[in-house]
Amino acid sequence: MFRVLVTDEVDQEGLALLAAEPLLQVDEVPTLPKDELLARIGDYDAIVGRSATRISADLLKAGTKLKVVGRAGVGIDNIALDVATSLGIAVINAPAGNTVAVAELFFGATIGLLRQLPRADHVMNNGGWDRNSFLGRELKGKTLGIVGLGRIGSEVAARAHAFGMTVVAFDPYIADERFTALRVRRAPSLDALLAEANILTLHVPLTDETKGMIGKRELSRLPNRSVVVNMARGGIVDEPALLAALEADQLRGAVLDVFSAEPLVADSPLRKAPNLLLLPHLGANTVEAQRNVSRDVCLAVRDALIRNDLSKSINVAGGAGEWGDLQPAMMVARRAAAVARAVLADQGMRAVRRVALRVSPDLAHGTGAILAAVAAGVLEGVIETDRLNLINARALAEARGLELSVAESSELGARAIEVALSGGMQQLAVSGVAPEGSTPRLTQIGSFHIDVNPKQTLLILTNHDVPGVIGRVGTLLGEQSVNIAEYHQARLAQGGDALAAVSVDGEVSETTRRALLELPDVITASVVHFRDE
């Protein structure tokens, strides 16, 4: 049974999905004061909310059972993401559910500004009729400059064509093919975009790269009497610079739905700025959007808790791609790393320094998630934490000084993986495959070719290639009540050394391992107990 705390008035349609799951106990509460939430969070496996609740570092540390934080919306400004990652807590948002709502609000607000609708309404409601004072402007023929051609930027671009606008965008992270499909001209730089944008709209996250990206200099590069719209995140537009441009009549107007500090204080000078349409963060505030983001995040939180499906987590390093497709590969990678670590440890190498992952081209889309699995395989049983998982494995590995690398290799067969660990003069590579519709297998340990399914526990033995070893090993394991699932013996040349990969049910004790080492012709014996992923 997992306990889920829901706050901030998350839409009921999503909550019904959580409540319908027998393994989840859902406690729905209003937005709680900081101290009260801090006192309660230790009882919960997950928390789901919107923007009103701050998921601080202190809160995450107090949530000793927390596995998942769900944000019913796209922004994660209120979540201490780095701390969540270090603690192995998945952070899940709902990036797609409010896309249409924000795109529609952009056009509604921009048309309202250009046609002076808020002012006209104010005059009418005060008994006036001053038609001649409200001469407006049309969208047709204007150039729309979009910074950020992601989900929302793309929806805005698609709708702009219907208004007869010329659409130009700047986004160095989007491929040319996407620009072509959307019939959007690519601006080579932000300055180039600014030079021709009659209406500038921003659809990027708030990062170190985008904070203050539209300041005094950038505003001065816009054509005279342009319009600036920010419905992305407060802080992307320099508010004092925007205010100055409006007061100097440099801009025709602006729309702000987001602010550097929210809620906007009552005495903010922005409230008295000319031709500035202020909205109280309405971007996702539609019935449909709230329903969509609630459903999306609640389904993802449910699957993360019950099925360990972290595909929607934004802090799985490098992204997880299609989770169902990658899970077998991730399992093979994690277990290959654990085998390599155990064998090297028994050879006297305790400190792994370098971890190199190679994948076949058909797995290249999932290298981030697969490398996280490798890091977890190297660390499990080595570090003292019960929160080691795919969320924090890479960060924990790098904090210990491990050098992680990944490469795509056409030399590997279909859906194949190679994990190489090294430290000092020692190195060992373990390979495996995760074929579609078939059982994942380990296929090579060092120079020895094997074929074994790494289930529960794997024994790795090296021995002299002489008659009777397999029989003696099997007899000893039988006497110790250890059931053999698979036994694969490999050798490089007759009469030399051999390697056995023995998959067994249950655990193998240290006493049994030592007994194996006392058998004639057995050289080494490594035991790898696999954690369930």
Residue 297 counted as domain residue = yes
* Residue 29, domain CATH: 3.40.50.720
Query: What pLDDT does 345 receive?
Result: 87
User: What's the pTM?
Assistant: 0.65
Q: Which domain holds residue 208?
A: 99-278
Same domain membership, residue 425 and residue 459? yes
Q: What is the number of other CB atoms lying within 10 angstroms of the CB of residue 108?
A: 14
Active site residues per annotation: 233, 262, 281
Binned average pLDDT, 10 residues per bin, the chain of 533 residues: 94 94 95 94 96 94 95 87 88 88 97 97 94 94 96 95 98 88 96 98 88 96 97 96 97 97 95 96 92 94 86 64 71 95 86 92 88 90 68 80 91 95 90 90 95 92 94 95 94 87 92 95 93 58
Residue 396 counted as domain residue = yes
Same domain membership, residue 228 and residue 194? yes
Name the token pair of 360. Answer: 């076949």
Same domain membership, residue 249 and residue 181? yes
Residue 212 counted as domain residue = yes
Which residues fall within 8 angstroms of residue 164, CB to CB, at 6 or more apart?
Answer: 139, 140, 141
Long-range contact set of residues 409-412: C-beta below 8 Å, sequence gap at least 24: 409/358, 409/359, 409/360, 410/360, 410/361, 412/358, 412/359, 412/360
Same domain membership, residue 206 and residue 170? yes
Residue 317 counted as domain residue = no
Domain count, the chain: 3
Evaluate the CA torsion angle 3, 377, 451, 487 in order and state its sign: negative
* Residue 438, domain CATH: 3.30.1330.90
Same domain membership, residue 506 and residue 474? yes
Strands 426-433 and 403-408, bridge-based pairing: unpaired
Residue 283 counted as domain residue = no
**Extended beta strands in 409-494, E state:** 416-423, 426-433, 441-445, 448-452, 457-464, 484-491
Same domain membership, residue 496 and residue 378? yes
Of 211, 253, 209, nearest to 228 (Cα)?
253
How close are the terminal C-alpha atoms of the chain, in Å?
18
Of 355, 364, 354, nearest to 325 (Cα)?
364
Same domain membership, residue 438 and residue 464? yes
Query: What pLDDT does 150 receive?
Result: 87
Query: What pLDDT does 119 receive?
Result: 94
Same domain membership, residue 264 and residue 154? yes
Same domain membership, residue 167 and residue 71? no
Same domain membership, residue 447 and residue 360? yes
Backbone angles phi, psi at 2, to 5 degrees: -110, 140
CA atoms of 189 and 116, how far apart (whole Å): 32
Question: Which residue shows structure tokens 């490999």?
Answer: 490
Residue 284 counted as domain residue = no
Same domain membership, residue 347 and residue 206? no
Same domain membership, residue 141 and residue 75? no
Instruction: Name the helix (H) or strand (E) containing 151.
Output: helix 151-162
CA atoms of 47 and 91, how far apart (whole Å): 10
